Amino acid sequence: MPLLDRPELAAKILARPEPVVVLEAPAGMGKSTLLRQMARSAGIAVHLGPDAPKPEDLVLWDLPPGTMPEALPEAFLAGSGKLVLAKRQETLLPGLVRALAYGQAAVLKAEELLFSEAELAQHFPGTTNLLDRTGGWPLLVAYAEAGRAHIAPFLRVEFLQSMPTADLLALRDRLEGVAPQILPQLPLVSSPKILREALAEGLHDVIEQRISDPDQAQELAAALAERGDMTRAITTLQRAGHLDAALDLFTKASDRFYIYRYGPEAFGAVLSGFPTDYAKNSDTITMSLAMQALKRGELARAHRLLTERFGEGVNDLTTVFADRTAYSPDFLAFRLVMMIYEDYLLTDTLFEQVFALADDFPPDAHLLQGTFYNAVLEFYIRSRRFAAAEDVAAHALRHYRQANVPHLCFYISLHQSLMRLMMGDAVSARTRANEARQFLESVDFESPDDDRLLVLLDACIAYEGGRAEPLAQFLHYDMDAFAHGEIWPSLIEFALHYGSQALSEHFSTIAARSFLDRWRVYQIRNRQFGMMIEMREAAILQNANRWQEAAEKLAPVPSRITRDWVLGAAEALERLQDRDEIALALIWLRHHVFEMPTRPGLDRQLEAMLNNLNMTGRQRMGVEIWLAFVAKRQRNLTRARSLLLKTFEEAARLGAVAPLAEERHFLSELIEHQRIGEFLEASGPARQALRRLRDSGLPNSSLGAQNGLSRRETKVLMMVTEGASNKFIANTLGLSEATVKFHLGNVYRKLGCTKRREAISAARALGLVG
């Protein structure tokens, strides 16, 4: 250390009345330097070593660290000369305690050896903030201009190398905290930045040195695991070559569920630390790598990993679940989860085999139990068996709570909220969303994708209640990041429905269709997802009064549920179970309601559909509105009013306006009718729903009527905008071609047009079609 004269401090020490003055401080406090300065001024030598010096008028004794000194000479205690002694805190000097008790000795601690502001000004004239930068610690003062390059090696040798592993880790935690405390052996200075940087550098070097030593690496990993730092503990063992110990610790830390406890980044760091050849021979690592691949959307890689480890048989699900003795319960639970990513439809037989898995899991295997119920939950949601879904969700949540994994609890609450939205119950959905938020807030790592999921859920609940702004904002700012994240299939359906509806109603049909086009990338690997997109696009076209185009979009969909099948169906509608078949039947029924609402038997078809227990609450509201529309067109106003009143009061109770808003085309005509409108206004709940519906954009009168067009003329014009010929229009509406021309002539006259193309442009400009 460079010499910095401290005559004031030396004089203060020598002026002490006690015959023995002990400078007791850690390395770097300038004890030896101060003794040498005092020796030079007095013209004497410093006594160095553990042997006790002979009494003189002034004796300067420097005790090296790690020595066992002789006892204080009695002559000094009797007043024969002055002794100034420098030692470390841990060095025990026999006789010192007795001398202190009798007032014959004084101990100056590290704090009393710090430089004062006046001393610093004397040594460094013109230098500002030096006390703040160094805290007055002599080591930092000496190297203030040189930086931490000189301090880090000193700290490493003098302090860090001899520290126990647990103390090293505790120091690192303090340094990474907001207000780190200096080493316990060092004075409590103001934690200057240069010292923190030097300590961090020294710590890194010492820890790296211990990792390179196999025995010390195991001790370090054990200390890290004891502190809960599992990722560093496992990677420490991996770097030291202790792969079996690392795998054992990874398994104890929940292996493939590690991602839910510590996050994707930690999960990836641990998995990348196992060499490929080693990983291939481990079931645990293989399933974990496959889990990572699924989370990244790499289904083919997950298949390859499982096939290479477990054989081709893993791809035959019937065989896998039929003979459960061939595979471990852990593998079967993982294979069940993977089925969801594969878009696999469970047969009744396979469903029974899957449910038998629950008996293979130990009662206290909460993660496996929760995963089983979580996977079954997804299948129940797909089949719209919401009562059963609620039951298994409660089981999954109970097990995940027992396993203390709030991240997985978050996903269950999220799905519970989603189910409530599907059922049209926005009030309960909000309660579940708040529970999901509480779980996510208790997760120990950052999860931006899940944050976005929660934002989307909140926005959809607000949209359900009639507020479109939050959802529009999400679609504008966050949708791209959301779409590129890992999303559970039922959540994709959820995003598709609300996103396309909001864009079509509050922006444009083009915006909604563009939104769906961005999702079509998933169609390559997910058949049901592709069908879902086609049906949503058809619904958007219907909402834009482009009915024929919607029908043409639906015609190629590969399904037994065709336009003709729905026309001839009766009780069969009541028995439909598949989610996509129900959705397809509903969209064709909607088309028939628009195209021929007075067709005999249409009301009975809609009633059969209402008796289908597999429909969602939102779908049921739509069918009720269609049935009211049909009743009104068939001049049964009493039934139309009662049906509509029931639907509106239910919507008010559940806080759900969006299902009504999607049926604007039918509701506009119904509400415009004076007797129906007045009937709804007489009910407080119905009036409330009606007001919120109008606030969200429902017109008080149809655009066609505003422009003087009759309903028939409006329908003819809409079909013309879709490119339909006069002959096609005549056949579709049951008219003669001459009658179609007559209606078309009236349209031209009322819109001020002379040509077909001009009428189409006018219809789009007036908002008659999307």
Bigger pLDDT: 297 or 415? 415
**For residue 191, what pLDDT is reported?**
47
Residues 354-367: tens digit of each pLDDT = 888 878 888 889 99
In a 13 Å sphere around the CA of 245, the CA atoms on its Cβ side amount to 20
**For residue 701, what pLDDT is reported?**
42
Residue 700 has pLDDT above 50, yes or no: no
Bigger pLDDT: 161 or 607? 607
Decide if 292 contacts 265 (C-beta within 8 A). Answer: no
Residues 52-85: tens digit of each pLDDT = 999 899 999 999 988 899 999 988 888 788 999 9
Residue 765 has pLDDT above 80, yes or no: no
**For residue 186, what pLDDT is reported?**
56
**For residue 693, what pLDDT is reported?**
80
The winner for highest mean pLDDT among 105-119, 183-197, 254-268, 740-754 is 254-268
Q: What are phi and psi of 87, to 5 degrees?
A: -155, 165
Two structure tokens written together for 223: 């200390």
Over range 711-731, report the average pLDDT.
83
Among 254-268, 492-506, 686-700, where is mean pLDDT lowest? 686-700
Decide if 258 contacts 267 (C-beta within 8 A). Answer: yes
**For residue 551, what pLDDT is reported?**
93
**For residue 284, what pLDDT is reported?**
95
Residues 203-219: tens digit of each pLDDT = 888 888 888 888 888 98
Nearest to 239, CA basis, from 264, 266, 267, 207? 207
**For residue 488, what pLDDT is reported?**
66
Q: What are phi and psi of 620, to 5 degrees?
A: -65, -40
**For residue 392, what pLDDT is reported?**
94
Among 54-63, 82-91, 433-442, 741-750, where is mean pLDDT lowest? 741-750
Bigger pLDDT: 622 or 712? 622
- pLDDT band of residue 188 (cuts 50, 70, 90) is very low
**For residue 525, what pLDDT is reported?**
54
**For residue 489, what pLDDT is reported?**
66
Over range 647-655, report the average pLDDT.
91
Decide if 471 contacts 463 (C-beta within 8 A). Answer: yes
Residues 453-492: tens digit of each pLDDT = 899 899 889 888 877 778 877 887 777 777 666 666 677 7
**For residue 70, what pLDDT is reported?**
93
Two structure tokens written together for 83: 């002794």
Tell me the DSSP string of 414-465.
HHHHHHHHHTT-HHHHHHHHHHHHHHHHT-SS--HHHHHHHHHHHHHHHHHT
**For residue 89, what pLDDT is reported?**
84
**For residue 656, what pLDDT is reported?**
87
Bigger pLDDT: 704 or 113? 113
**For residue 2, what pLDDT is reported?**
53
Nearest to 733, CA basis, from 522, 555, 548? 548
**For residue 733, what pLDDT is reported?**
78
Q: Which residues are CB-contacts of 311 (< 8 A; sequence separation ≥ 6)?
A: none
Among 383-392, 439-448, 499-508, where is mean pLDDT lowest? 499-508
Bigger pLDDT: 706 or 756? 756
CA dihedral 215, 220, 223, 224 (to 10 degrees): -140
Two structure tokens written together for 11: 């004089």
Residue 391 has pLDDT above 60, yes or no: yes
**For residue 696, what pLDDT is reported?**
63
Nearest to 334, CA basis, from 375, 285, 382, 394? 375
CA angle 9, 29, 160 (to 5 degrees): 175
What percent of the chain stands above pLDDT 90?
A: 40
Residue 394 has pLDDT above 60, yes or no: yes
**For residue 18, what pLDDT is reported?**
93
Q: Which residues are CB-contacts of 7 (< 8 A; sequence separation ≥ 6)?
A: 37, 41
Instruction: Specify the pTM.
Output: 0.71
**For residue 708, what pLDDT is reported?**
66
- pLDDT band of residue 148 (cuts 50, 70, 90) is low
Strands (E), 516-630: none
Among 179-193, 256-270, 733-747, where is mean pLDDT lowest? 179-193
- pLDDT band of residue 646 (cuts 50, 70, 90) is very high
Strand order in the sheet with 105-108: 47-48, 58-62, 82-87, 20-24, 105-108
Residue 770 has pLDDT above 80, yes or no: no
**For residue 167, what pLDDT is reported?**
78
**For residue 590, what pLDDT is reported?**
96
Residues 17-53: tens digit of each pLDDT = 999 999 998 877 889 989 999 999 999 999 999 999 9
Mean pLDDT of the chain: 85
> Cβ atoms within 10 A of the Cβ of 693, count?
21
- pLDDT band of residue 761 (cuts 50, 70, 90) is confident
